[in-house]
A and B are shown apart, each in its own frame.
Chain A
Amino acid sequence: MRLDDDDFTLFGLPQRFAQQRSDIDARWKALQAEVHPDRFAADGAAAQRVAMQWAVRVNEAYQRLKDPLKRAAALCALHGQRIDAHDNTAMPPAFLMQQMEWREALDEAHDAAAVETLAEQVTQRRRAMLAELQILIDERADWVSAAQEVRALMFIERFADGVDARLHALES
């Protein structure tokens, strides 16, 4: 077990998209129980520094593994398809059209109920795309299409954040 092992190896999980969240959580806690700096509070500065490195590494892997989108991006990268979202913004026109429609709908939504309706649509769409991602990765190993799907989902997540922010603003 090494600090530079990939996330899946570190957590002792198979390299695939479909994962049980409860497995990931259980392994995270078991690993932290071994490496957390609190475990080495009486062992001097050297042990503290190493423990800190490990605990950071375990938390970093956990952040990626537990989030389906980050997990998919990590798998794509492991198979030579880096996501590089900043450079790769070319999206199919139909997808972009829908994004624009959603953005207009959000601009026009002036009460919590309207925003919640939109939020529900976004959730549905996200769920469908994640199901598709699972087929692309676990069944077809089609990394190019999977990477494209990840990029599309990143747009959707960003939009979902905007919807959440609006809901928050309306509630408080």
Chain B
Amino acid sequence: MALLQISEPGQTPDPHQRRIAVGIDLGTTHSLVAVVRHAMPECLPDEQGRVILPSAVRYLEGGGRQIGHAAIDTQAEDPENTIVSVKRFMGRGLADVHGHEKLPYRFVDAPGMLSLETRDGVKSPVEVSAEILAALRQRAEDSFDTDEQFGAVITVPAYFDEAQRQATKDAAQLARLNVLRLINEPTAAAIAYGLENGSEGLYAVYDLGGGTFDISLLRLARGVFEVVATGGDSALGGDDFDRALADWALAEAGREVRSAQDKRAVLVAARAAKEALSDAPQATLRGVIDGQPLEVPVTREQFEALTRCLLDRTVTAVKRVLRDAKVARDEVQGVVMVGGSTRMPAVQAAVGEFFGRAPLTNLNPDEVVALGAAIQANQLAGNAPDGELLLLDVIPLSLGIETMGGLVERIIERNTTIPTAQAQDFTTFKDGQTAMALHVVQGERELVADCRSLARFELRGIPPMAAGAARIRVSFQVDADGLLSVSAKEQTSGVQAAIVVKPSYGLSDEQIAGMLREGFSHAEDDMRLRALRESRVEAERMLLATRSALAVDGDLLSAEEQTAIDVLMRDVEAAMRGDSHGAIDAAVEALAKGTEAFAAERMNRGIRQALAGRRVDQV
């Protein structure tokens, strides 16, 4: 049993033991999990040998679930309880979802994120996504005959905003995945593509998936993947092409759909016809609605005319990204196509025409994102010791704060490389004002009402002063996952307030804890053991990291400092012998805090050596 594999105190686990880290592409239509084995990334298949898991969850009578192919096969029979394309609802309110009335679900609107009513109760999109992630986690565990995975890199559309990213991270937490990093889908694709082809220079990644569109410009140079600019539309994808075709076919046939079954049936028929049109000049949209057959012949020309406006929206986004990057279209050396929707001939033709060169389609557009994520996961897990891979990604949308008159003061501009921090000073506008409300927003528009509201918090306890005398420094920090934290400090008095931005309508930590308690068929005992095991693994990892740091850079420490760290390490070892995961976590945190200065010193040495090395190179 894996639980017993934790080594006894004093007995070091093999430091060269490979840690398992997977890459997960959580897509609108399909999801995949990949891992690096034998130095090559590969997608993991299910028992039937299929690597694609359709992103579909069906809630059954009696609390059971069907996930993936089984759910897709029955979606037209049970559409209200079979959730597909749930990614379009992540971090979104009902008003954000265009055409929701044509979808067969019973929506429950809530401030911020909508929910879906199923026969198993009301489900948040986060819970539905967690079911898909848990299925992929299970697949990975089965492939490796272990449940001691080190972690996962999960991909998100580059154009996902804060709320959508946070919702994705919440889903991963709910699925009990240790998230090493969220990375952007086009960046992941560029990794897989660049490493496969040894490419250098400026590349565009055009990623049209089932529900999202991303365009990213990347500069590739010797293992460095630098995102220069990114743009897109997080509500534009193959689903919209299906809907346009379905609406047209219904109008042609003079038919209407009312029931949930019929709504789903016509979308399924449209998708099949769309896919057929990628290989043939004409096809027939075939389905059964109202118990009567629906048959509408359609040519590729008709389909392309119907969907031209969707394609034009992608080209507009491409132009804007080039302008943001201050790059002319002929400077782009190659265009990588990602996402199943790029199989449509009209998409390839439009992209080829715009850039004046044929797009690159030599990697499977369904798999390339998961493969790139696996490469990055392997690197983050420390399995690629001389890995040269470095990702320098950007935030897709500007972040700012509401000022007087409902205007937005931008603090961090879009396309700023992350991690990043920016601060700006504000002041009070009333005499004796002792509190200030801060409203954090995301978007490019001037008015708060046109941007997405992320969070509100208050700075209280400002000493009474004349209007304009207080100096309130608001600091924004975006971490390597693209997630934001904000703090505010009154400079003269030192009063401060801070929040990790959980979008106003995201899930609270309590809600997640609650979902974790009730969900996923984990008995309570099982969960306690699991928490204990995870804490022990983390403690072991921390001890290992500290020991190897001491072995390399121990000379940076005085004898006293060395002793203090030794004591903290012994505390961790002692806690590991007990069975309280809380005590282990506390000891690990104490060790982390106690080694912070040492870590800083090591980092300084690393940088000095790096700079010194470069100077020598230049001589």
Interface residues of A (CB under 8 A from B): 1-2, 12, 27, 29-39, 41-47, 49-52, 54-56, 59-60, 62-63, 164, 167-168, 171-172
A-B contact list, 13 entries, CB within 8 Å:
A1-B608, A29-B226, A37-B480, A42-B545, A44-B545, A44-B546, A46-B595, A47-B545, A50-B603, A59-B420, A60-B420, A62-B417, A167-B323
Q: How far is the CB of A66 from chain B (nearest CB, A)?
A: 10
Interface string of B548-560 (1 = CB under 8 A from A): 0100000000000
Given contacts A46-B592, A46-B595, 18 further A-B contacts (CB under 8 A): A29-B226, A30-B614, A33-B224, A34-B610, A38-B376, A41-B382, A42-B380, A42-B541, A43-B545, A44-B542, A44-B545, A44-B546, A46-B599, A49-B596, A56-B420, A59-B418, A164-B323, A167-B323
- The tally of CB-CB contacts under 8 A between chains A and B is 116
Contacts of B221 in A (CB 8 A): 29
Contacts of B602 in A (CB 8 A): 47
A43 touches B549 (CB 8 A): yes
A54 touches B603 (CB 8 A): yes
Chain B, range 604-618, C-beta contacts under 8 Å to A: 604, 606-608, 610-611, 614-615
Interface centre among B181, B417, B477, B549 (most CB of A within 10 A): B417
Contacts of A62 in B (CB 8 A): 417
Q: How far is the CB of A113 from chain B (nearest CB, A)?
A: 16
The reply to whether the CB of B3 lies closer than 8 angstroms to some CB of chain A is no
Contacts of A47 in B (CB 8 A): 545, 599, 602-603
Provide the bound-state CA to CA distance between A32 and B607, in Å.
10
Interface centre among A37, A39, A41, A63 (most CB of B within 10 A): A41
Give the residue of B181, B316, B382, B615 whose beta carbon is less than 8 angstroms from that of A42: B382
Give the residue of A38, A44, A171 whose beta carbon is less than 8 angstroms from that of B390: A38
Interface residues of B (CB under 8 A from A): 19, 180-181, 221, 224, 226, 316, 319-320, 323, 376, 379-382, 390-392, 416-421, 477, 479-480, 541-542, 545-546, 549, 589, 591-593, 595-596, 598-600, 602-604, 606-608, 610-611, 614-615
B391 touches A50 (CB 8 A): no
Provide the bound-state CA to CA distance between A85 and B572, in Å.
53
Q: How far is the CB of A62 from chain B (nearest CB, A)?
A: 7
Q: How far is the CB of A11 from chain B (nearest CB, A)?
A: 9
B181 touches A38 (CB 8 A): yes
Given A29-B392, A52-B479, A56-B421; A41-B607 close (CB under 8 Å):
no
Contacts of B320 in A (CB 8 A): 168, 172
Given A41-B180, A59-B419; A50-B599 close (CB under 8 Å):
yes
Given A12-B614, A36-B390, A52-B479; A46-B606 close (CB under 8 Å):
no
Chain B's closest residue to A172 (CB) is B316
Q: How far is the CB of B261 from chain A (nearest CB, A)?
A: 39
A54 touches B542 (CB 8 A): no
Contacts of A50 in B (CB 8 A): 596, 599-600, 603
